[in-house]
Structure 1
């Protein structure tokens, strides 16, 4: 924005609507920052003879905020977080309202198809552990 345009907006920021304009500006800036910095869910996958294991790092998340969807040979991990903070100042009749909404998803390809009933999941210490019985059959070569 040019300096001339910024100066022409200055009286509005200092006048009776100044706090409202600053709050709106803050809202749009925070929203843009949150949308542009999507949360990434790091995962670790490994396989044992009896099970296929996926470990997803999701610190600070409660199990109620997590959903798992099984699609034949894919698992989608979804995390949704919402926080609302409101401050009231009765003396100046000022209300400050901040809200934050965050959503992250990660789709994990599995080496074989599974049914939802075969999948077990547990959340402990910020690690979501998903266990699936290993259906791979190793063929002996003669």
Structure 2
């Protein structure tokens, strides 16, 4: 008996690396195709977003004289923030619009991409809010809203 493999098995060894190369080439083409490439790009945009899952952290504290609402908004400009005061709610909205254009060597526009993101949080409070007395400040990515607690007149009950 010979220790040499039959001649048919030598051909299978040559086919395996080529099959593997074909598989890798097919996987590479699949990843760079439009549907998958777009999906992977959307995942990248999701993780690059400063507010994952469409929310931003908000903290509400109560003191003897006021409610203090603090919202962490890193990377947001003051012009992007809008506050709306309702009778017993505060709504914080952030709107971000980005326009990306690509031009060729002759400065002809060949691609334009507009993305718009709007985030909003509504904070209910157990008091009626006087919007004229609300104060808001924004510094270093931290929005602070101060809402004074208005106490009614106390009436003594007679015997």
TM-score by length of 1: 0.66
**Is residue 84–residue 98 contact of structure 1 (8 Å, CA) maintained in 2?**
yes
CA shift digits 1:58-85 (9 cap, x unpaired): 1111111111111111011111000111
Look up the match of 1:74. 89
Please report how far the alpha carbon of residue 51 of structure 1 lies from its aligned counterpart in structure 2 after TM superposition: 1.5
Look up the match of 1:56. 71
Higher relative contact order (CA 8 A, sep 6+): 1
Q: Structure 1 residue 129 and structure 2 residue 144: aligned?
A: yes
Question: Whose helix proportion is higher, 1 or 2?
Answer: 2
Structure 2 unmatched runs, 5+? 1-28, 47-51, 155-159
Please report how far the alpha carbon of residue 136 of structure 1 lies from its aligned counterpart in structure 2 after TM superposition: 5.3
Closer/same/farther in 2, CA of residues 117 and 94 from structure 1, 3 Å limit: closer
Distance in 2 (alpha carbons) for counterparts of 1:52 and 1:59: 22
CA shift digits 1:102-125 (9 cap, x unpaired): 100000011201121111111111
RMSD: 3.1
Distance in 1 (alpha carbons) for counterparts of 2:143 and 2:77: 10
Q: Secondary structure at the match of 2:110?
A: strand
**Structure 1 runs of 4+ off > 6 angstroms?**
none
TM-score by length of 2: 0.60
